[in-house]
Amino acid sequence: MRDLAGKTAFVTGGASGIGLAMAHAFADAGMRVMLADIEPKPLEAALAGFKGSGREVRGVPCDVARYESVEHAAQAAIDAFGKVHVVCNNAGVSSRNAEEISLTDWRWVIDVNLMGVVHGVRAFLPHLRSHGEGGHFVNTASMAGFLPGIGFSPYTATKFAVVGISEGLATQLAADGIGVSVLCPGWVSTNISDSGRNRQAAYGQAPARVLTDVEKKIAELVKDGMKPADVAALVRKAVQENEFYVFTHPHMRPPLEKRVERFMAAYRKLGPAPQEARS
């Protein structure tokens, strides 16, 4: 999708952080944009930021944990713009590790981070196929989807899952002219550390907590992280050039290479692959 002008993008978690930055990047490319977000006031503020810019940007409330909410938001985008071409399943929340998180908290993180992506694909895929102009899904994962350094946590679990389903989706949709990118950022300056502000009533009140030293360090890394606009520029490029993996932090390459080497070392213990043995 090299020419984005005149096409439409739909972005969940679009009122702040990476989502809002993607909205600006797409709007700057001449796209119409629908911002979808669970927070009414930040959504209003985000829309106000586009006033007078000449960009065609609208907003719709959306709780990605509920399919009916995503379906409603998708229809609002179609009603407003006629066709949607780029769908950014970006909304996400963070969590603590498994030793300190309840089953209800697990369900909250999974419903937002993983099922939010599933809901976005389910709501939009028939539409992208039907209009025949091609399209692109951008699913926000994380380097935590490759490097489980934060431990046994629902956040890690969901990000690994988003990477996996995105890889499968890309293979499945290639013949339809629909691309897929999986965004795997490292530390980005967003307010994800304050995810509890968006916790839906269905999951109950989040328990009071005192930040551990590790969590304090993570919060600092996020605060001083990469600018969302720089991430968004990489995403727009990936959509235009149909790139699947969108990595953002070069310094995270070495630990990823070490992880891949552990895989290969385990395979080498099995001996040569069958075709190598025959040769």
Q: How far apart are CA 35 and CA 15, in angstroms?
A: 7
Q: How far apart are CA 14 and CA 89, in angstroms?
A: 10
Single-letter amino acid, residue 43: L
Rounded to 5 degrees, φ, ψ at 39 are -100, 110
Q: How far apart are CA 273 and CA 279, in angstroms?
A: 10
Residue of 67, 155, 245, 267 with catalytic role: 155
Token code pair at residue 85: 């071409």
- Answer yes or no: 155 catalytic: yes
Burial label, 61 (beta-carbon count in 10 A; 0-12, 13-18, 19+): middle
Q: How far apart are CA 66 and CA 38, in angstroms?
A: 11
Question: Inter-axis angle of helices 154-173 and 115-131, to 10 degrees?
Answer: 20
Give the burial string for 63-93 (b: 16+ CB within 10 Å, else e). bbbbbebbbbbbebbbeebebbbbbbbbbbb
Q: How far apart are CA 176 and CA 159, in angstroms?
A: 26
Closest CA to 15 of 87, 73, 82, 91: 91
Q: Specify whether the CB–CB gap between 45 and 15 falls below 8 A.
A: yes
Closest CA to 140 of 125, 155, 154, 124: 155
State the catalytic residues: 155
